[in-house]
Amino acid sequence: MNALGWGRLGVYRSVFVAANLRQTNDHGPKGVVQVPTGPLPDWVLQQRRRVGDRVRDLREQRGLSQERLAELTGLSRHTVYRIELAQYGTSIDHLALIARALRVEIGSLFS
């Protein structure tokens, strides 16, 4: 459960409902961000790859295995693996944990 008392299913359900609302009502209120319903644009995936590559490079520079980085962050090794291969759209929370474990500022994961 998160701070709002929602489990994962609640968040997914909210995104699903928002996506379906967009499909049925493309003329929503001004200023409301619409949830994309199709595949992510290539530029988003490229940014995800850059972050994954940077995480892997920093991890290797520090002589850490994926398993050790996972231990330091509290994430699973599989999650670290998926972030490094850009198979996973990770959260800012995960990136903050990774940056701290690698002893870098979170912004350096994006450069």
Where helices occur in the chain by DSSP H, the ranges are 8-24, 42-61, 66-73, 77-84, 92-102
CA–CA distance, 79 with 88 (Å, rounded to integer): 8
Consecutive 10-residue runs of the chain (111 residues): their mean pLDDT? Answer: 48 43 49 74 93 97 97 97 93 97 96 84
**pTM of the prediction?**
0.66
Q: State the fold for domain 40-111.
A: 434 Repressor (Amino-terminal Domain) (1.10.260)
Residue 4 CA to chain centroid, in angstroms?
19
CB-based contact 76:85 (threshold 8 Å) = no
The ranges of the chain annotated as CATH 1.10.260.40 are 40-111
CA neighbor of 94 nearest in space, from 85, 109, 37: 109
